Amino acid sequence: MIRFLNILSKMQITKDIHKISGEGNVYLLLKPEPTLIDTGSLLESEKIINQIKKIIDPDKIKNVLLTHLHYDHAGNTKYFKNAKIYASKDEIADFKSHSEYFFFEYPAPKDLSRVKPLPKEEILDLKIISCPGHTRGGVSFLDEKNKLLFSGDTLFQNGIGRTDLPNSLPGKMNESVEKLAKLVSDEGYNLMPGHDY
């Protein structure tokens, strides 16, 4: 369905942007300051952290930007003690009232209590795009300079994120997918999906 999209699958996307592959992808941006987009699955902590250590000391990560708070995207926040952690205001509110919707049978990391709300429009040269559907507070990040779209679990290479979860908004997903797909097909952004499927 969405095979026409531009996907960059290599590990080093640009000189300062790296993809850390796992069940859920993690993206490391070295400039303007060391930042992660998502932290990967808590089931793959060692694998994710070891890949990051090959590029930078995890203690030097200044920011963690979460597309949403599911266990496979926000599971390793505890390893970035010096980082400010951000997610959307709606995502934080839903997590506070029902963390079991995000971590299912796993215990939610205690350090997610320090997550702060993202600003409304932009953070660290990344435009914030609200993408309700997979979760109510899901977001994507747009790097206009490098023409990259970090889509989280809204848009994948061969499909879209699930909408059958307790915190999903199925009625909003099509609008979110169309918004992101147009950025790739019409404006030439390369897709950096939350998963490689």
pLDDT band at 4 (very low <50, low <70, confident <90, very high): very low
Strand order in the sheet with 63-65: 12-14, 17-20, 26-29, 35-37, 63-65, 84-87, 116-117
pLDDT band at 2 (very low <50, low <70, confident <90, very high): very low
pLDDT tens-digit series, residues 82-135: 999 999 999 999 999 999 999 987 888 888 889 999 998 999 999 999 999 999
Task: Please state, for a pLDDT cut of 90, what percent of the chain lies above it.
Answer: 81
Q: What is the pLDDT of residue 10?
A: 60
Q: What is the pLDDT of residue 183?
A: 96
User: How many alpha carbons fall within 13 Å on the CB side of residue 194?
Assistant: 28
Q: What is the pLDDT of residue 1?
A: 36
Averaged pLDDT for residues 32-45: 95
Integer-rounded Cα Rg, in Å, for the chain is 15
Q: What is the pLDDT of residue 106?
A: 80
Over 70: is that where the pLDDT of 3 sits?
no
Return the residue matching tokens 């290599």: 10
Averaged pLDDT for residues 50-72: 97
CA distances from 22 to 40, 44, 55, 186 (A): 7, 7, 16, 29
pLDDT tens-digit series, residues 157-188: 888 999 999 999 999 999 999 999 999 999 99
pLDDT band at 22 (very low <50, low <70, confident <90, very high): confident
Q: Which has the higher per-residue pLDDT, 156 or 4?
A: 156
Residues 138 and 126: their CA atoms lie apart, in Å, by 15
Would you give the end-to-end CA distance of the chain in angstroms? 12
Domains by residue range for the chain, with CATH: 12-193 (3.60.15.10)
pLDDT band at 197 (very low <50, low <70, confident <90, very high): confident
Q: Which has the higher per-residue pLDDT, 8 or 59?
A: 59
Averaged pLDDT for residues 36-64: 96
**12-50 burial code (b ≥16 CB/10 A, e <16):** ebeeebbbbbbbbbbbbbbeeebbbbbbbbbbbbeebbe
